Structures are given as structure tokens and as C-alpha cells.
Structure 1
């Protein structure tokens, strides 16, 4: 980029670097391909701050100055709200050596990890609840892996991987993306050292999240394909669930890359696994099951820029079938995306409000939820009034 480049030229350069067509970029921010073309050609003035932020998020631009050519404004300063306990969790993650002391018996450690996952799913302030136990849980798991031997050590490694997965979820959308990568990497190393195919499959699911977040969709697919190949879905329900979740991750990568056929083939495989597990099944901490497949279908349709189908999926999804406040809130945010893609602003505000009632922490720390609340707060009438109330509750700066 040069200082003399216009906003339109910068937008086009970033769009092409991201490998997105005008229809795709327009669809992802709720506008048309002609609108994008008009911006790039200078026939329209640059949009207001909320839309600039949405463009920057979609194009993975960290500083708005790279898009506008004006003064620096880190996108994360608006879209990412740091949790009050982030420093404590970050310090625990960055500890260079394992804590000294006696190991925690594996069955006790497993129970503690289960309790932490229950907090994550059952609380409406899940980040706050989990942040209180994560530093100690990381220390317990690391200490046990260091002091135990043989089978017990392998079992402790599996639990350590689960703690790192939970830490990755806590760190997501926080102003420290390097720690998200660190959590994903350490979880995979622990699972591989345990030589546990089921643990490796889950580690691949979470590693794929960070790959997709950095636009490395092929790498995301590969890590999931490799992990799924280690699992026998016919062996038992646990392996079937983890195989199905891997297929779901593959589907999400293909949809982000715009490969509709491959996305739906992988989703069909995941949905078939969910059906075999039973209509009311939900994995106790991964939450994979038929309800999860149905809500991820909303994400797939939205990423593929098919607003009509995305809204249809959103309107027929049974969000209450997800036994997790944070998963329901995340799914409702995806439904918000679908309706806004279809110009349904009233529905979008309503769904975002429902998401906030499910989990304050999920909505408050979700970049899309924050930018949408800010954007819609500028609308006239009841949409703007309700959106301003939401923005205030979320803590978005006006």
C-alpha cells in the first residue's frame, strides 16, 4: 500500500489478497457486489465506521489505517474486548516450566476438568467462571503429566489437552491471538504424546479453528482429515462423535473457501453420524450431535452467501436442543449473520438480544456481535433504539 492510494484501491487490493470476489465480500457484510464495485471505483464515498470495521474483520485487516489510509485505529480496540482476568490466564499459559509438587490422581484430575467444562456450558458468564479455575487447572494437569508414568501419564496428557482446549475457547476473541495458537499447539502435542486417536481428533477440531481464522483453509482440512483417519466410527459412540465432529470441521473449512459441494458432502457425513447417535444426543463437553449439525448448517449457508437458505436454516433450527448457554448464544449470533445477510435488521436485533440473554460473555466478546450492534445503532426508529440498548449492554464504545 502507498500513501497515495485511494480507499477504493486499498479495498480492492485487500479483497484480492484475501481471495474474495465482489459478490462474496458484499454478501459477507450484507451488501451487493455492485456496492463493492462502486466503493472500489470511487463512485461511493467510504462507508461509516461500523461498516469499515465489518469490512476489516472479513478481510482480516488489523489496523483500519491499512484500509482507509487515515490515522491508526486497531480494529481489535473496538471489536475485541479484553476479559478482566485475561492477565491471570495468560500468565498461566506462558509459564515456562511445570509447577513442582505432588501429581493429582488421574480420576480426580478428570473430574476437575469435567467440572470446568460444565461451568463453560452451563453459565451465562462462562469466561468469568472458567477464568477463576483455569490457572490452577493448568498447573494441576501440567504437574501430573510431569510426575506420572506409563498409562497414568498418558491419561493425564489427555486431560491436559482438554484443559488447553478450554483455555483456547477462553482466549478466543481476546487481544492476544498468539496465545490462541499456543493453546491449540500445546493441546495437539499433548494428544499426540498420549497417542490417543480420540484426543488427537478433538485437538484437530480446535487446531482447525485457528487455521480457518487465519484463512489457511487447506491446512485446516488436512489436520482434520489426518485425525479422522485415525478413528473407527463403527467402534463405539465416542469415536463416532469425534469422527462426526471432524467432518463438521471439514465442512466449515470448505464453506469458508466457497466450495459448496465439498462443504455439503462433509456436512452430510457429520449429520449422518449425529443421526446414528440419536435425535437427542449431545456429547457431554464437545456438544456434537444433531442439534449442533443443524446450527452449523446456518454458518455454512451464510459463509456461502446464500441468504435465503441461511435464513431458512436459522428459522427452523431448535436452538434449545443445544444443552449449552455459550453454544446457543454462538448459534444465535450465526442466525443474526444469516438474517442481516438477507437484510432482516429487525430479526437480527431480536436474535442478538436472545443471544445476549443466553450468554453475556459470548456476545460481549464476539467481534461480529460487537460490530453489528454498533452498525445497527445508527439505524432510525426501533431498530436503532434496540441496537443502542444492546451496544450499551455489550460494552461497545459509542
Structure 2
């Protein structure tokens, strides 16, 4: 191996600081950016990476793992005893069947594709079931294999250009539903195959709403991949907004809603970058779009609505690492008005992040307990929730340690 080759952070022996530096470099993150995310100085990061400071205590290790988006804590620590999944949740029992359906193409089957109206009705029911179920991955995981196969078959058997465009729109939407199941599971290559197929099918459908939904999910996949993918997230978002612009003056509610959801995604990525003014500007633009929608409108894929804008404001404040503003926005938001159980749970997790930033650990655990009550699977697969409960399990307060430990066991972050 050449002297300038990148070391393998998983080859022993490699010290904690070296692993931290390698993982940071691989994600295209500067010391200054990582320091800002951790609330420390660049010189502190340099000293840890250089071995002049010992490995921090667990709460800071968890924050470093969050900032570097490591999938398992042992990637950072190098210790098999700390093999705790963070941003990749457990593999769902239905994952193999969904993977099989995604990888299977109906080239030799003689089965007749279902009518497109039947496929559309099944998709409507699937989205409704996802929003109403506490264990939504289990529900949609049961539906997806047949939906994927039937949607692929509908495209293969389309006989005219119009039929093919309609079928591609349905296939793109099925792939979009699949992404909600696959997110944060330990098969990122499968997730990216679905992301890319959804984008291709959406473009071939030529339907503005379908294109917007596929782009919305692709932007999230890029952003969640880490700092080096933020530019790709922005490119997808802004190009799609430009594509949708001519449709907006006379747009349907669903096209208007996806345009609003994309504007918020631009703000979310800006907040991850630490660009406060840009983040809040996009939030304001998204709110203006939400105000054009009927008061009770709720987008079935993105949850975009008037009701969700308060939750979005909490997310922006949390991503900007402003604890006080996060708490203020949490007080103003009305989670009960969000009709989706997983989206309510996600909002409670964002509240927990804000409370912890503000030094209110008890309120953070209470918010996570509320998230678990709304949708246990959302908490089990959420890296931020796992990080908070593991960190609070090290609290100096015995009562706090007990509450955090009990919740950690319930979500599968610690063995019982």
C-alpha cells in the first residue's frame, strides 16, 4: 500500500482520534464544520484526532457519531462491545421480501396486470394505513411486495404512450412508498436503487406532482447521507422547483403542496449547513404556500399542510442548534393537529432534540416517550432518538438513568 493511501478505520489497531479523522474526511467535512456541530473549537477536534486528548466520554462520542452519521457506534470507537446501531435501525423482518420484489422484473410472467384504477385505490389505502398505524413499517412492508410487482407489471404491459405514462406515475409512487419502509434500515444500496428508480419512473411519467414527490425523497436521501451530499440535495430540490414553477399559478392542491414541501426541504438542508437566514427564508416561503391550501388539507406523502409548519419550524431551530428557539417553537406548534402518527412521532423526536439542546433532559425524555406512544417504530428507527436515550442513560441522576434505560430497552437500543 502506498504511503498516501487512506487508512481503513476498521483495521486494528486504529485509535479513536484516527477513526474520527478518517470518517470526517470521508464525509467531506472540515474540522471547523465538525467543531461547530459539536459546540467545540477546531483546535479541540484537532487535538482529539491527533491523540493529544483521550477519547471523550460517551455523551460526546454519541454527538460525534451523530455528526459523522456513523451507522454503528463501533465504527467510531473500534470496539466490538460498542456495536450499537445509531442511524441504521434494525433490519425489519419484511425487508427480505421487499428486497426480492424490488430486484425482480416481470419479463417472463404471463399474469395480467391489474387495472390502473385498482392500483391507484390500493396506493391510497396504503398511504392511509401508513399514517394511521403505530407500527407503520410492518403495515406497508406487508403491502409492498405485491404493489411493487403489480406496478412493474403495469408498466411492462402498457399498450400506449398515455397508458405507459400513467403506469410510470404509479410505479414511481410505489417506489416512494418503499422509501418510507427502507429508510434507516441496514441496506443503503437497496434504498438508493429505489430512489433512482423512482426518479426515472417519475420523469417518464411527465407528471409534475409525481416528479416533485420523487425529488422530495431523493433530496432527503442525499441530505441524510452526510455533509458531502448537501450540494446534491440542493441541486435536486432547486431544479425541481424550477421545473414546477410554470404549473403553480393554476396548480392543483397536490402540486402546490409538493412545491411547498420542496421549499421546506431547501430550508432543512440550509439549516444543516448552519445557514440560518437562508433556512428561515425557505421556511417562510413554505408557510406562504401552506397558507394557500385549504385549512384541513394534508398531503398524503410529505405530510405538507398548514398543521405541519409548526413542526417544521422546530426542525429548523434544532438543526441550527438553537436550544432556546427550538423550545419556543415547540411551545407554539400544535402536534395534535398533525393527522399522521409517524409524523407526530417525528415531531416529538425533534422536540426532544430541542429540549436536550436547551439543557432540559427530563423534558427531552418525556417528548421521546410521547413519540413512542404515537408510533413506536418511528422511534426505533430514528438515530437522534437512539442517541438521546443512550446519552441520558449516562446521566448523573439515578431517576433519569432509570427512565432513559427503560426507554432504551423498549426501542431496542440496549438489551433488556
TM-score using structure 2 length: 0.87
Cα offset, 1:9, TM superposition: 5.3
The counterpart of 1:21, out of the listed 18, 30, 33, is 33
Contact 2:62-2:391 within 8 A present in 1 as well:
no
Are the structure 2 counterparts of residues 121 and 63 from structure 1 closer, same or farther at C-alpha, using a change threshold of 3 Å?
A: closer
Cα offset, 1:15, TM superposition: 4.4
Partner of 1:11: 20
Q: Kindly indicate whether residue 347 of structure 2 is the aligned counterpart of residue 336 of structure 1.
A: no
Are the structure 2 counterparts of residues 312 and 145 from structure 1 closer, same or farther at C-alpha, using a change threshold of 3 Å?
A: same
Are the structure 2 counterparts of residues 53 and 26 from structure 1 closer, same or farther at C-alpha, using a change threshold of 3 Å?
A: closer
Are the structure 2 counterparts of residues 173 and 281 from structure 1 closer, same or farther at C-alpha, using a change threshold of 3 Å?
A: same
Cα offset, 1:284, TM superposition: 3.3
Cα offset, 1:375, TM superposition: 2.1
* Greater shift in the superposed pair: 99-108 or 171-180: 99-108
Contact 2:393-2:402 within 8 A present in 1 as well:
yes
Are the structure 2 counterparts of residues 102 and 10 from structure 1 closer, same or farther at C-alpha, using a change threshold of 3 Å?
A: closer
For the residues of structure 2 that align with 1:206 and 1:272, how far apart are their CA atoms?
A: 22
Cα offset, 1:32, TM superposition: 8.4
Partner of 2:414: 397
Are the structure 2 counterparts of residues 189 and 79 from structure 1 closer, same or farther at C-alpha, using a change threshold of 3 Å?
A: closer
Partner of 1:324: 340
Contact 2:72-2:87 within 8 A present in 1 as well:
no
Cα offset, 1:21, TM superposition: 2.8
Partner of 1:235: 250
Contact 2:86-2:383 within 8 A present in 1 as well:
no
Q: Tell me, which stretches of 5 or more residues in structure 2 are unaligned?
A: 1-6
Q: Kindly indicate whether residue 199 of structure 2 is the aligned counterpart of residue 183 of structure 1.
A: no
Contact 1:374-1:388 within 8 A present in 2 as well:
yes
The counterpart of 1:120, out of the listed 126, 130, 136, is 130
Contact 1:61-1:67 within 8 A present in 2 as well:
yes
Name the Cα RMSD after superposition. 2.6
Q: Deviations over 1:23-54 (max 9, x none)?
A: 52214xxx888976775576764234564344
Are the structure 2 counterparts of residues 218 and 307 from structure 1 closer, same or farther at C-alpha, using a change threshold of 3 Å?
A: same
Cα offset, 1:76, TM superposition: 3.3
Partner of 2:151: 141
Contact 2:85-2:413 within 8 A present in 1 as well:
no
The counterpart of 1:159, out of the listed 170, 177, 180, is 170
Where do residues 96-135 of structure 1 align in structure 2 (5 Å cutoff)? 96-97=105-106, 100-135=110-145
Are the structure 2 counterparts of residues 33 and 282 from structure 1 closer, same or farther at C-alpha, using a change threshold of 3 Å?
A: farther
Contact 1:364-1:370 within 8 A present in 2 as well:
yes
For the residues of structure 2 that align with 1:78 and 1:159, how far apart are their CA atoms?
A: 30
Q: Deviations over 1:286-314 (max 9, x none)?
A: 31112222212212111111221112112
Q: Which runs of 4+ in 1 moved over 6 A?
A: 2-5, 31-35
Where do residues 1-398 of structure 1 align in structure 2 (5 Å cutoff)? 1=7, 6-8=15-17, 10-11=19-20, 14-15=23-24, 17-19=28-30, 20-21=32-33, 23-27=35-39, 39=48, 45-49=54-58, 51-62=60-71, 64=73, 67-70=76-79, 76=85, 80-97=89-106, 100-150=110-160, 151-215=162-226, 216-231=229-244, 232-236=247-251, 237-379=253-395, 380-398=397-415
Contact 2:155-2:167 within 8 A present in 1 as well:
yes
Q: Tell me, which stretches of 5 or more residues in structure 1 are unaligned?
A: none
* Greater shift in the superposed pair: 104-113 or 256-265: 256-265
For the residues of structure 2 that align with 1:370 and 1:58, how far apart are their CA atoms?
A: 14
* Greater shift in the superposed pair: 247-256 or 343-352: 247-256
For the residues of structure 1 that align with 2:348 and 2:37, how far apart are their CA atoms?
A: 22
